[in-house]
Chains A and B, each alone.
Chain A
Amino acid sequence: MRCHLRIPPRLVPYLLLAPALGFIVLFILYPLGLNLYTSFQHRVFTEPTGNRFVGIANYLAVAKDPTFWLVLRQSAVWVVGSLAFQFILGLALALLLNERFPARGLYRSLILSPWAISGVIIAIMWKWMYNPQVGVLNEILVRLGLVGHRLAFLADPSTSLPAVILTNIWRGTPFFAVMLLAALQAVPAALYEAAAMDGAGTWRRFLHVTLPSILPMVFAALLLRTIWIFNDVDLIFVMTDGGPVRASETLATFLYKKASRDLDFGMGSALAMVMFAILMTITAFYYRAFRRSDRIL
């Protein structure tokens, strides 16, 4: 006969959750708290004896740093540029995927493949295609007669950020499409039939049936993607390292380099808190916009 440890049944679910919650508290929530604490300290990894409490000095230093305001603006360009195209293309792709056509499953697998590819490899693929001497993109543009000479997309301050944004659009569009597709497939067919009966054309059906039905998912997807893109580091980190002369630096890469290269943990933590505050504001903004649109439609 097997012996059972007698555990009060009331406690079982908590015990089952304990390892998961333990990891989350230890490696996510506690670090978040620690981050807040560190942001009020002078703390540089290479000066182990120099740690001291400095109040809001790090935050003041951030506010006074012109680089911070520059990378903040560039973060906005990075997020809005990536998001706008990912959304428009993603919605178009979702509408296409919602149609019936041969080999749809295979098509969806292929089109989603960027999701499974590591950011560093995506960065490598595109960096190679952007190569100024023997890059295939230049070759195509020259052959089509769109440019007269080969361009150094990533080395030119005026094109480096747009070039990385294009890569990010490539990376994020398919997943955006799948999120929206999930919403499209949940729209009851009866709604379309009723609209067709009332004589609504394709465009009116899209505007009055499809769009209101998928709106909650659209907002959720936009918000999530905003957060991801805002925090995304790997593409820029590998493709341009924020350069040339910070032309493609965003808040996230700036913070990451403060942490991993300068090892300035105090300043880095203050930057992280600022980023967190910005994201909270954006989330609140999305939430209000969502509530309002819900009333209108």
Chain B
Amino acid sequence: MRQRNPWRLATLYLPLAGFLAFTLFPIYWTLATSLQSEMAVARLPIHLIPRELTLENYRALWSFTRFDRFFLNSLLVAGTTTLLTLAITTLSGYALSRFRFKGKTFIFFSILAIQMIPLVMIVIPLFEIFIALGLARSRLALVGTYTTFMITFCTLLMKGFMDAIPAEIDEMAMIDGCSRLGALFRTVLPTIKPGLVATGIFAFIYAWNELIFAVMFLNSEELMTLPVGLYSLVGQFVIKWTDIATGSIIAVLPPLLLFAYIQRYLVQGLASGAVKG
């Protein structure tokens, strides 16, 4: 249906531009702040387009703060969470996709329902469980927590990806002498590789960004992940906004780049009941 151009401009392009400006401005402003000196951002009047740009903040952040440590911790926690989540949900997704067994419907709906349990509720008991396991105040506690929270979402994603390929390819592999697991690893996984990558990225982004459990579980600077490190910087008496903006930009790059790759799977996952806000 073709409509007149001024009408289309007013009802489509202007609102689209408005939404885009609203969404991107905070990100632009943080980036602009990170590229100016501390003096420049504290001076009035404020220029919406910065006058002098410098990369000094980026150099200083790596040399004078524990930011490299935070970055490494985040990489470690998010990386381990990703691998563990993939290993576990490959198996669980396969079970739900390929087998008929007693209790399947119950397990499937339980996994759907568990996504809705408010996680802030279990901060306290989880912390006590990790004390009992001797893991409180450790990165391993975070990995265990994040993996568990991603299992429901990623199982449903994996099931969706596996459902999309015909079960005959497993059967053919098994006729050729593969075991069940052999069929999974030699034929199913290679076929759904893009889906596997997407699932891993979801787990990675979640673990990379999480703050609330990390603040509760980690208390030494040595172990802090990026969100906790950034949080500790905003909590200080004198806030160095250029440092914080710079740290934020560095921390936000990996998930943003990965997200650009997987965003279409987000929509696809929604259709199969996997939800992650």
Residue numbers of A with Cβ under 8 A of B are: 4, 10, 12-14, 16-17, 19-21, 23-24, 26-32, 34-35, 38, 89, 92-93, 96, 99, 101, 107-129, 131, 133-134, 136, 139, 170, 172, 174-175, 178-179, 181-182, 186, 224-225, 227-228, 230-231, 233-234, 237-238, 252, 255-256, 259-260, 265, 268-269, 272, 275-276, 279, 283
Contacts and interface: CB of A to CB of B under 8 A. Distances in A.
A134 B41 contact: yes
Interface in B30-61: 30, 33, 41-46, 48
A126 B26 contact: yes
14 contacts: A26-B129, A114-B23, A115-B277, A116-B205, A117-B256, A119-B211, A121-B209, A124-B245, A125-B27, A131-B241, A139-B45, A178-B270, A231-B121, A268-B124
Given A121-B248, A125-B248, A28 B122 contact: yes
A238 B231 contact: yes
A20 B48 contact: no
B102 to A, nearest CB: 9
A231 B126 contact: no
B62 interface: no
A132 B248 CA distance: 21
Contacts of A224: 116, 275, 277
A115 B251 contact: no
Contacts of B148: 23-24, 26-28
Interface stretch (B13-21, B164-172, B187-195): B13-21
Contacts of B46: 134, 136, 139
Contacts of B89: 20
A230 B118 contact: yes
B124 A265 contact: yes
Nearest to A223: B116
Given A117-B256, A119-B211, A260-B123, 10 more contacts: A20-B89, A32-B122, A115-B277, A116-B256, A121-B30, A125-B30, A128-B33, A128-B245, A259-B123, A269-B124
A18 to B, nearest CB: 8
B203 interface: no
A170 B22 contact: yes
Contacts, number: 252
Contacts of B121: 32, 35, 231, 255, 272, 275-276
A35 B124 contact: yes
Contact of A269 (B19, B125, B152, B270): B125
Contacts of A125: 26-27, 29-30, 248
Nearest to A32: B122
Contacts of A238: 211, 231, 234
B88 A231 contact: no
Nearest to B133: A26
Contacts of B231: 120, 238
B107 A17 contact: yes
Contacts of B145: 27
Contacts of B119: 231
Contact of B13 (A34, A101, A233, A269): A101
B231 to A, nearest CB: 5
Nearest to B131: A45
A133 B43 CA distance: 9
Max chain A CB contacts within 10 Å: which of B20, B119, B211, B251? Answer: B211
B83 interface: no
Contact of B208 (A20, A118, A134, A170): A118
Contacts of A179: 270, 275
B68 interface: no
A113 B22 CA distance: 12
B222 interface: no
A172 B123 CA distance: 23
Nearest to B26: A125
A34 B132 CA distance: 13
Contacts of A19: 87-88, 91-92
A259 B16 contact: no
Given A12-B180, A129-B26, A231 B120 contact: yes
Contacts of A178: 266-267, 270
A149 to B, nearest CB: 13
B115 to A, nearest CB: 8
A23 B154 CA distance: 13
